[in-house]
């Protein structure tokens, strides 16, 4: 059997560091080479002061804008801080610097790295519906600008160079997009894991509340019933009163033990014991009880479920009726098993059940079964049906 690997938060942190180093520092690095080349060109007299200032400003703005966008992308695809006008101006400046330097001294390909970095973060930050149109549009624009800038007089001569530059831009854009896309998937999985953990806690709380309601409600109802019996027997039949009082004490101890078991999650309902317990308690309360069928008809995986139904149904009979007769019928048809517990003289007469029925419904629903509680010919019927897990016939 393959063991399920345990989740290690350090993997998420390592992947975050990898993604951060893959996209954030790259933006200043893309601008570094053109700046160094610009300084070298200025020292050799190829660039004037105005050219150095304007080209340097274009490179710095591109690095700042690209870094800003990259940091936002650590929240996932489409999470960039959108300033369309500002981004368009910075991208146009970088593209213009590339075109100018290609025409000036042929150093434009280095500036295409600055354009590539900006294109990558802009496409990754764009909404899904605009992502691919923006990527294709940027690539075509770079190809046209690169072609014309390489050979303004005869653009066809610069076509190859323009296409190569466009290819470089497209490749870097795809690399950035793939890195952010992969990180975005990990973020979604991590969010799903967090939600799943929260749901598991909520389900466990519901299970605990349902079990506690079953245990406390059932035992306290029986203790109250026997207490009333002791009250009537004192002075009339002291021996029976003492025996009943002893039963109350034992029931109280059982309630404490069951409550501890619920707290520790160790409590398992035995259907045979629940059937016997239900018959004994109902008979003690003066309710004639008949049981049709036995616990052996119920598949073992379903016995705790139906045991809870018998316990809840018994509590309802004691608490919500003045029943004189109670019938419990167990039937099995292939994988489907049902138990019907019905009693006469429901109270109130409209047949409304106690709140514990809702908890019972949730338990059955979790296994694909269902529970009904309704009035039939003046009798209240509690019916639970479920199929054995994994069995089809």
Write out the DSSP string of 90-102. HHHHHHHHHHHHH
pLDDT tens track for 338-385: 999 999 988 765 555 556 788 788 888 888 889 988 888 889 999 999
Please report the pLDDT score of residue 1 as a whole number.
Answer: 42
pTM of the model: 0.56
Confidence of residue 135 (pLDDT cuts 50, 70, 90): very high
Confidence bin at 3 (pLDDT 50/70/90): very low
Report the 10 Å Cβ neighbour count for 270: 13
Spell out the alpha helix ranges (H) of the chain.
9-23, 26-43, 49-73, 84-104, 108-125, 128-150, 159-233, 238-264, 271-284, 303-319, 356-366
Per-residue pLDDT averaged across 82-108, rounded? 85
pLDDT at site 105: 76
With contact defined as beta carbons under 8 Å apart, do 179 and 195 qualify? no
Q: What residues have CB less than 8 Å from 277, skipping those under 6 apart?
A: 311, 314
Q: Which secondary structure element, helix H or strand E, spans residue 147, and what is its range?
A: helix 128-150
Whether 373 contacts 357, CB under 8 Å: yes
Q: 354 or 61, which is more confident? A: 61
Most distant CA pair in the chain, distance: 123
Which span out of 104-108, 137-141, 150-154 was modeled with the highest average pLDDT?
Answer: 137-141
Mean pLDDT of the chain: 83
Q: What DSSP element (H or E) covers 125?
A: helix 108-125
Rounded Cα gap, residues 118 and 180, in angstroms: 14
**3-state DSSP call for residue 209?**
helix
The arithmetic mean of pLDDT across residues 207-222, rounded, is 77
β-pairing, 379-387 vs 288-292, is: unpaired
In this prediction, residue 305 carries a pLDDT of 86
Class of domain 197-264: mainly alpha
CATH level 2 (architecture), domain 268-387:
2-Layer Sandwich (3.30)
d(CA 363, CA 229): 34
340 neighbors 382 (Cβ within 8 angstroms)? yes
Q: Which residue has the tokens 């054995």?
A: 388
> In the chain, what are the domain boundaries?
9-187, 197-264, 268-387
The CA-to-CA distance between both ends of the chain, in Å, stands at 27
According to the model, what pLDDT value does residue 204 have? 64
């Amino acid at each position: 059997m393959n063991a399920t690997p345990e989740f290690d938060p350090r993997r998420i942190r390592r992947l975050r560091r990898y993604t951060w180093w893959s996209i954030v520092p790259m933006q200043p690095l893309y601008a570094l080479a053109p700046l160094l080349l610009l300084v070298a060109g200025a020292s050799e007299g190829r660039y004037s002061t105005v050219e150095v200032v304007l080209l340097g400003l274009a490179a710095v703005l591109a690095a700042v804008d690209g870094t800003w966008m990259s940091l936002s992308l650590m929240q996932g695809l489409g999470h960039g801080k959108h300033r369309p006008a500002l981004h368009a101006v910075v991208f146009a400046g970088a593209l213009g610097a590339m075109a100018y330097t290609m025409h000036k001294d042929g150093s434009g390909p280095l500036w295409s790295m600055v354009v590539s970095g900006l294109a990558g973060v802009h496409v990754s930050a764009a909404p899904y519906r605009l992502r691919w149109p923006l990527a294709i549009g940027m690539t075509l624009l770079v190809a046209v600008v690169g072609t014309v800038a390489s050979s303004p007089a005869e653009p066809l001569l610069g076509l190859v160079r323009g296409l190569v530059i466009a290819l470089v831009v497209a490749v870097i854009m795809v690399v950035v997009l793939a890195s952010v896309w992969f990180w975005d998937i990990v973020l979604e999985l991590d969010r799903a894991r967090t939600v799943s953990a929260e749901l598991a806690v909520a389900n466990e709380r519901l299970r605990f509340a349902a079990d506690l309601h079953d245990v406390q409600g059932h035992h306290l109802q029986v203790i109250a019933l026997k207490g009333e019996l002791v009250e009537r027997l004192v002075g009339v039949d002291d021996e029976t009163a003492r025996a009943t009082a002893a039963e109350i004490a034992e029931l109280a101890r059982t309630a404490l033990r069951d409550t501890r078991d619920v707290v520790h999650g160790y409590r398992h309902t035995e259907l045979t014991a629940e059937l016997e317990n239900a018959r004994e308690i109902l008979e003690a309360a003066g309710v004639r009880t008949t049981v049709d069928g036995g616990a052996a008809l119920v598949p073992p995986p379903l016995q705790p479920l139906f045991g809870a139904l018998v316990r809840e149904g018994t509590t309802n009979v004691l608490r919500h009726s003045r029943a004189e007769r109670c019938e419990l019928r167990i039937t099995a048809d292939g994988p489907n098993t049902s138990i019907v517990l019905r009693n006469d003289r429901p109270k109130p007469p409209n047949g409304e059940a106690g709140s514990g029925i809702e908890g019972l419904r949730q338990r059955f629903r979790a296994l694909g079964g269902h529970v009904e509680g309704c009035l039939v010919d003046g009798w209240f019927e509690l019916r639970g049906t479920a199929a054995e897990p994994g069995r089809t016939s």
